[in-house]
Amino acid sequence: MSKKPKLLFSLGLISSTLLPLISTSTRLDGDAKPSTPVEPNDPSKPGDKPVQPTKTIDPKFDTFAQEHQKILESGLKSAITVAISFLKNEMAKLDADKKIDYGTKISKKVYLSKLINYFTKYQEQIIKEHDKYGFNITFPYALSALKKFQRGNIEFNNKKYSNVLYGTDKDNAKTRYDRIIKKELISNLNQEDNFISEKRFKDTIQNYYTSLAQEIGKIIYSEKHVLKVDDPDNGFHLKFPDKKGNNQEEGKIEISAPKVNGKATTWDDYIKSKILPRFLEFDLIKNQEYKDEEQKQKSPKKPPLIPPLVPGKPILAPPVKADVEALPSLEPQIRAEYVNKSISELNNLINSANQDKFFFFNNPVNTRYVYKVVSIEQSLAKVSIEDINQPSIKRIYTVNFDISKQRDAKKQLIRYNHVQGIREVVIQFYNAVGLDEKLLYQNLANDNLINTVFGMVDQFVKTIYSDNYALHQEEDIKYWSDKLATINDKKTANSAKNSAKNLFLTAVATSTFNTQPTWSALAQVFDSLINEYTQDVFRLNNKTIKSNIDVMNKQYASKLKVKPDYKVETIDEFVDQIQKDVYRLRALANYETLNMVSWFNKYTAKLEYIKKEFLALRDLSNNLAVNEQTYQKFHEAYLFAQKSIDKNKADVKNARFNIGITLLVVASIVHLLFIALMVINYKTFKQRKIRSLYILFLAISIIFFIAGINLMLL
């Protein structure tokens, strides 16, 4: 018996106490008279065209600098208070840590105490002369002081910041980034008038200093910058008082000045050197965010409304944010056709419109991120990573680049085919679940499905970058490159690609996700979705579903020129059908085979079909009344459900027919064997044991024959 409550059955279980609520409706139109329609503008009359307002500098702009100074003083004061509190809290946690080794504890304790002293001692000076103490505030000064500012791109700490605003050489130094960053790392784009309104100015500046207080902890302190005690190159020394107390206060431990890369410095200079780059990154990010927000205001784009996969269960998980910082710093790979090019020749190719012809990266899974070569030196390559969904989000890094290891054209061809093979597999998977290369997980329209697919993709990434997989991959690349006759040997290259697919699919098949085989995870999700439909959706929406069926029969069947034969029972059957398909997917996910590529084609085909089934079920069982805009969609979903049911019945019938044929063949063989034995052993037939054996053969053949006929006729 099906574990779900049938829809028709559940219709009769509505409590009488709910009937008044269900039957009562509120008419929004009522007796109200329609308002007078507004006549559209006549495009033939120029005077009727809407006039765009002329942008002007805010009349209160001259007060912005003074307003910023007030917010700066209170904002920095709050940030410093938070900073001291944060550092003292870190000190308390350090004191409570009993597992940390003595040297590390002393090193951290000294650094934290120096930081606390820095902010306590220079609190007033930081507010008045913040540049001297590592807080090179730039964006707020530019926004508050410049009626015309420069737009440009800035590269800092191997990261690119696009469309930031700043002052020119003639402007106040505090509005310019070239007082800190080399001019060659700043590329000017154009000059713009500063049309910011007073309200937006105050909101932006206030947000800047509020965010500073929130992020001050990671700006001022990082464990990787803790200098080690007794390290002669990057550390400091402790000088304990001698017993006589000579040259020292009694009982006081002296902390020496630190050394960085073997050179002596002061604690203040060291702390400032660590704060400055992290604060500057903060300032540039806030600057870039201002441009992004400005673009959103100019051309607001509403994302398409994606109805939840389970009606009444909206997506609660926040969208998966781009995190280019977490991506691996991959080395560029030269395509086989260009392995003999020199460094200068490769640099000339970089500016080509289609870089993919010359370079590739081992990035087959994270398809929403594009790696591009920026420049190549003798042993280093500068690379950018860009999110194709948000091109403004970029990261630039420098990585070792050993061109001598990429001169083997055969190996590079096989390596490229390995990457392409895995890419084809994951894109096939993405398409099956309803995604594409952009990996917009929200399009999956269900939290459970989003989290599972995201987790599986994460598992794919971990697999291809694992040491064990890399070892097997290199062995496979060597095997196929040895078999490759020339780089034009497409047959061997394709064989290598298929081998890469098998290797990847096998590796994933042996991994686990949430304590179960990775490929089984989606079957479990779909099973839970069925439960949500049977336990919640049909219970809550049964009246609407029945009403929609009735409306389709009475009102829209004639418009569609079809027979008014829509039935609620079809939806019940459809749910049973989906349940069977989910069971088949689970069985397929656990199926063991040597030909993983062939298996994967069947797996993704079933996955894609089940996703389509759920989309159709969603359209058939939501709580929205069918109307002129949606009846066609309801009809298409109903047709899909009917075809799915009919297809399953045909598959079952074919399976029965094939089994029936098999049983008839077996019955015929047994019957022929019976006749042959009768002829050969006619004289012994009268023996009781032999006769019993013959009768058994005859009975088996008759049973198989009858069963076969019955299965073929069902």
Residue 322 binned pLDDT confidence (cut-offs 50, 70, 90): low
The pLDDT of residue 649: 74
CA gap 108, 456 in Å, rounded: 39
* 280-289, 297-306, 654-663: which is most confident: 280-289
* Average pLDDT taken over every residue of the chain: 84
How many Cα neighbours within 13 Å face the side chain of 412?
Answer: 23
- Residue 619 pLDDT level (bands cut at 50, 70, 90): very high
With beta carbons less than 8 A apart as the criterion, state whether 135 and 215 touch: no
**Is the CB of residue 533 less than 8 Å from the CB of residue 619?**
no
Q: What percent of the chain has pLDDT over 70?
A: 81
pLDDT for res 34: 36
pLDDT higher for 691 or 638? 638
Q: Based on the number of CB atoms within 10 Å of its own CB, is 431 exposed (0-12), middle (13-18) or buried (19 or more)? A: middle
Give mean pLDDT, residues 600-620: 96
CA 545 to chain centroid, in Å, comes to 35
pLDDT of residue 407: 95
**What integer pLDDT is reported at residue 256 of this predicted model?**
87
Q: In this structure, are residues 409 and 339 in contact, taking their beta carbons and an 8 Å threshold?
A: yes
The contacts of residue 695 (CB under 8 Å, 6+ apart) are: none
Q: How confident is the model at residue 616, as a pLDDT?
A: 96
pLDDT over 80 (residue 329): yes
Q: Which of 350-354, 458-462, 502-506, 632-636 has the lowest mean pLDDT?
A: 350-354
- CA 186, chain centre distance (Å): 32
Q: What share of the chain is helix, strand, coil (3-state, %, to 5)?
A: 60, 10, 30
Q: Which residue did the predictor score with more confidence, 560 or 246? A: 560
Structure confidence at residue 660 (pLDDT): 63
Which pLDDT value is given to residue 250?
A: 52
Q: What is the C-alpha to C-alpha distance for residues 616 and 636, in angstroms, rounded to an integer? A: 8
Check if the beta carbon of residue 701 is closer than 8 Å to that of residue 670. Answer: yes
Other residues' Cβ atoms within 10 Å of the Cβ of residue 455 = 14
437-442's contacts with Cβ under 8 Å and 24+ in sequence apart are 437/367, 437/368, 437/388, 438/367, 438/368, 438/388, 438/389, 439/320, 439/366, 439/367, 439/368, 440/389, 441/319, 441/320, 442/303, 442/306, 442/315, 442/319, 442/320
Q: Whole-angstrom Cα distance, residue 29 to residue 26?
A: 9
Average pLDDT over residues 171-188: 93
Structure confidence by residue, pLDDT tens digits, 104-129: 999 999 999 999 999 999 999 999 99
Neighbours of 267 (CB within 10 A): 20
213-230 average pLDDT score? 89
Describe the crossing of helices 102-121 and 64-96 by its angle, rounded to 10 degrees.
Answer: 150
| Residue with the larger pLDDT of the pair 671 and 168 | 168
User: Do residues 134 and 279 lie in contact, with contact meaning Cβ atoms separated by under 8 Å?
Assistant: yes
Angle between helical axes of 267-298 and 102-121 (0-180°, round to 10): 70
Question: Per-residue pLDDT averaged across 322-342, rounded?
Answer: 89
Taking residues 679-708, report their average pLDDT: 66
- HSE-CB at 212 with a 13 A cutoff on CA atoms is 30
Q: Furthest-apart CA pair in the chain: how many Å?
A: 127
What does the pLDDT read at residue 246?
54
Mean pLDDT check: name the lowest of 16-20, 160-164, 503-507, 661-665. 16-20
Angle separating helix axes 409-433 and 596-621, nearest 10 degrees: 30
Exposure of 59 in the CB half-sphere (CA atoms within 13 A):
0
Average pLDDT over residues 637-653: 82
**When comparing pLDDT for 705 and 343, which is higher?**
343
**Amino acid 262: pLDDT:** 76
Is pLDDT of 80 > 80?
yes
What tokens were used for 458? 């994460």
Residue 333: strand pairing partners: 360
CA–CA dist 157, 289 (Å, integer): 18
Half-sphere exposure of 308 (CA within 13 A, CB side): 19
Q: How many residues does the chain have?
A: 714
Q: List the 235-236 sheet strands across, edge first.
A: 228-229, 235-236, 259-260, 263-264
Q: Does the pLDDT of residue 8 top 50, yes or no?
A: no
Q: What percent of the chain has pLDDT over 90?
A: 57
pLDDT at 177: 96
Residue 568 has pLDDT above 90, yes or no: yes
Tell me the per-residue pLDDT of 515-547, one tens digit each, with 9 for 90 and over: 889 999 999 999 999 999 999 999 999 999 999
Residues 6+ apart with CB under 8 A from 426: 364, 365, 367, 457, 460
| pLDDT tens sequence across 21-54 | 233 333 223 333 333 333 334 433 444 444 456 7
Q: 3-state secondary structure string, 231-267?
A: CCCCEECEECCCCCCCCCCCCCCEECCCEECCEECCH
Residue 247 pLDDT = 52
The pLDDT of residue 16: 31
Average pLDDT over residues 389-412: 90
pLDDT band per the 50, 70, 90 thresholds, residue 19: very low
CA angle 406, 411, 415 (to 5 degrees): 95
Q: With cut-offs at 50, 70 and 90, classify the pLDDT of residue 350.
A: confident
Between CA 626 and CA 614 the distance in angstroms is 19
pLDDT tier at 470, thresholds 50, 70, 90: very high
pLDDT per position as a tens digit, 180-221 = 999 999 998 899 999 999 999 999 999 999 889 888 998 999
For 266, residues 6+ apart whose C-beta sits below 8 A from its C-beta are 257, 258
Comparing 244-253, 359-368, 378-387, which segment has the lowest mean pLDDT? Answer: 244-253
Q: Write down the pLDDT at residue 393.
A: 79
